[in-house]
Amino acid sequence: MRNEKTKTGGRTILTYGTFDLFHVGHVRLLRRLADLGDRLIVACSTDEFNTLKGKRTAIPYAHRVEVLEACQYVDMVIPETCWEQKPKDIATYGVDLFAMGDDWEGKFDDLRQHCDVLYLPRTENISTTKLKELIQTMHLIVPDAGQKMTG
């Protein structure tokens, strides 16, 4: 995490995501966001919320949070448990800027009544989806805990 003095006051940035299979695209997004303010808060989608969204993660929530907390650009990690929590989080944490990747362009414009909203370009040629597809093609998928490994 960044220097302790950056955790109070100044400009607060908030972003949301699953951050599964943490990769260079995540790092670059978090670095750009950290450069825009004094405090970066990351809301990480819980396993339960991902299930509601129809998403399956490779890495459990607690591990994703631990990776985010270890990232030098992140000041605080909070759970994302539902779509509707964003306005409350903005108020609770005194958020000045809500930011997401441009794959969400326009989806959160209604939050402009609470704070500034910014959509940043994604890092080209890298995404969790692409990584999962690559792993599948390499036949390196780890079976579910209930399955027996062969070979």
Contact of 22 with 77, CB cutoff 8 Å: no
55 is catalytic: yes
Rounded CA gap, 91 and 72, in Å?
A: 25
Q: For the chain, what is the HEC assignment?
A: CCCHHHHCCCCEEEEEECCCCCCHHHHHHHHHHHHCCCEEEEEEECHHHHHHCCCCCCCCHHHHHHHHHHCCCCCEEEEECCHHHHHHHHHHCCCCEEEEEHHHCCCCHHHHHCCEEEEECCCCCCCHHHHHHHHHHCCCCCCCCCCCCCC
Percent of the chain with pLDDT over 90: 63
Q: For domain 4-137, give its CATH number from 2.60.40.1220, 1.25.40.10, 3.40.50.620, 3.50.50.60.
A: 3.40.50.620
Per-residue model confidence (pLDDT) at position 33: 96
Which of 49, 30, 39, 28 has the alpha carbon at shortest distance from 5?
39
Of 55, 88, 107, 130, which one is the catalytic site residue?
55
pLDDT tens column, 32-91? 999 999 999 999 999 999 999 998 888 999 999 999 999 999 999 999 999 999 999 999
Report the b/e string of 113-131 with b at 16+ CB within 10 A: ebbebbbbeebeeebbeeb
Among 11-20, 21-30, 48-57, 86-95, the minimum mean pLDDT is found in: 21-30
Single out the catalytic residue among 53, 88, 107, 130.
53
Partners of 79 in beta bridges: 44
